[in-house]
């Protein structure tokens, strides 16, 4: 099986039909008009992956509040997924509300560059955030031995949406940056005229500037 190169941010998410625990899904078509978060795991019935699935399930409503759907993926068979989901429900009292892709042939994983040549057929621990137009907006990759922070995935999704809506940038750990607090960053001035305009606007109290290239404001 050949491993495809990583897709690029800003690319259209590749079209694919996948088998899931909720039936056949067509990506990204079935999620048109919504954000979706596709996250892969190395395998069912593994300890780190189980902790992640419980965490994603507990945050499912928070993702839905941001008009986003969750989708899991590994190369395990759908029967294994179903049994694992049952085990999680029975042993952690947590229902897995999102579909889990059974990528048995590795086609989706290959198309998304999730198969590491040194890790056999296991998918890497990846996260893809896709916007309502089917555009890939963010990717995160973790090694098998390190679990992801679901709160960070949720935070990043929120920051993307804020940046899109207001035409701004989000600082480190937005909206809880130690320096700027919950402020967002105004894109740097690209011309001398805009630089002068920014400084005048700052003097008028429209926003705050540490310097002409670092201006921020509250929403």
Is the CB of residue 111 less than 8 Å from the CB of residue 17? no
Helix (H) or strand (E) holding 195: helix 192-203
Of 18, 27, 37, 49, the active-site residue reads: 49
Is the CB of residue 84 less than 8 Å from the CB of residue 112? no
Alpha helices (runs of H) in 4-147, residue ranges in sequence order: 47-58, 60-65, 78-92, 107-111
Q: For residues 167 and 197, what is the distance between their CA atoms, to the nearest angstrom?
A: 18
Is the CB of residue 23 less than 8 Å from the CB of residue 31? no
- What length does the chain have? 219
Q: Is 215 tagged catalytic?
A: no
DSSP track, 9-43: TTSBPPPEEEEETTEEEEETGGGTTSEEEEEE-S-
Q: What residues are labeled active site?
A: 49
């Amino acid at each position: 099986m050949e491993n495809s190169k990583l897709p690029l941010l800003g690319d259209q998410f590749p079209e694919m039909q996948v088998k899931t625990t909720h039936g056949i899904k067509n990506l990204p078509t079935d999620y048109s008009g919504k954000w979706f978060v596709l996250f892969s795991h190395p395998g069912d019935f593994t300890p780190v992956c189980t902790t992640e699935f419980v965490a994603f399930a507990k945050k499912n409503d928070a993702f839905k509040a941001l008009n986003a759907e969750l989708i899991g993926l590994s190369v395990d068979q759908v029967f294994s997924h179903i049994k694992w989901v049952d085990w999680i429900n029975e042993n952690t009292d947590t229902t897995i509300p999102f579909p889990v892709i059974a990528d048995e042939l590795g086609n989706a994983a290959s198309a998304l560059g999730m198969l590491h040549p040194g890790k056999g057929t296991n998918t890497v621990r990846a996260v893809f955030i896709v916007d309502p137009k089917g555009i890939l907006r963010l990717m995160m990759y973790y090694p098998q031995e390190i679990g992801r922070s679901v709160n960070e995935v949720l935070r990043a999704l929120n920051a993307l949406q804020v940046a899109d809506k207001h035409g701004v940038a989000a600082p480190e750990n937005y909206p809880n940056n130690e320096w700027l607090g919950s402020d967002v960053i105004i894109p740097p001035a690209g011309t001398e005229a805009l630089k002068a305009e920014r400084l005048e606007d700052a003097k008028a109290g429209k926003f705050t500037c540490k310097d002409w290239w670092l201006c921020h404001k509250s929403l």
